[in-house]
Structure 1
Amino acid sequence: MVPSNSDGLFIWRGVGIPRDYRVNDRIRIAEVRLIDEAGKQLGVMPTRQALIFAQERGLDLVEVAPGSRPPVCRLMDYGKFRYEATRREREARKAQRSKTTNELREVRLEGRIGDHDLETKIRQVKRLLGEGSKVRVSVRFRGREITHPEIGMALLRRVAESLVEDAGMEKAPSFEGRFLAMILAPISTGGKSSKPKDEPAQQTEKEKTRA
């Protein structure tokens, strides 16, 4: 059940929530029309009796239609109700951002990146994908590392396989100078499997010279 303080704020998970429904002993009218947690009409009864119904079922008495005569109250878990309402609102905002965001972001890796740092980068890519952005994931080769493209390919494969539920492969790994890069798109855009092929696209002679 949801306790309330003397200021009329409902205390939910330790946070004061501005009152928009009267709950439990904040309902001070003599009689209410009661609906149970399953939606069944229980009729008009004294508010004290309705509170007893709520307490016996481990629920809250919530005034949902204060303008009615008598006011309509319903039995529910008010904390869960507010939590679900907040979650739905948050998901709606996230979905809206995903529809309007198509920015290409980039996350760069180093050939000698450690496991912990790589996991951090993967979480960063996952967050950007969750915001609706496409992500260019690249591996930078230093010095003679360029002669071992399999190192970069292994890193990109690990990233892609970790995000197979979140991302589709928009552009397969290919060399861009000293970078081996792929582009991942949120899975909702209809991208194909994010798992890269075994070999990156070969460098052109011009790219090798520039590298």
Structure 2
Amino acid sequence: MTKDYRVNEEIRAREVRVIDPSGNQIGIMPLREALRLAEERQLDLVEIAPQAKPPVCKLMDYGKYKYEQSKREREARKRQRIINVKEVKLRPSIEEHDFQIKARNAARFLRDGDKVKATIMFRGREIMHTELGHQLLVRLAEQLKDLSIVERQPKLEGKNMVMILAPRPDLHKQEVKQEMEERG
């Protein structure tokens, strides 16, 4: 959550630089006087820069400040999108219908905002024909070019060839816009 500040009697400095709620500097004064000033205005004295010489303290309603901070954090978490990496596994000798099904699944993952890791698995002597796997991955990327960008070009890793597709950033913005319009 938010970082904790020292408030009122928790402050351990002799002198503090005081700032009023609107951000104007009041000046440097003894801690006791700053606490009295805060009490007169029915506010809290909050240490916002303890490492400064003298420490900087601000007059504010600390409860209200903490509430606003937590509200801001909740909003930020709500807007945050966790991107998963979904995997689509293919073989170099895949049939056309199976390829189309894998491509459709990859398209669905991309529309959901997830990245797609397309893997071609070579078995036995198939590794001699890596160009077939490369062609297949290029074909998949070509088929999904409206929905994705190639984040990592096809690359051989051991007995697998891997390519990573990421959803188009502009596509996600369009979907969010459509969703907002639907809600009214």
Q: TM-score, normalised by structure 1?
A: 0.42
Structure with bigger helix share is 2
Q: TM-score, normalised by structure 2?
A: 0.48
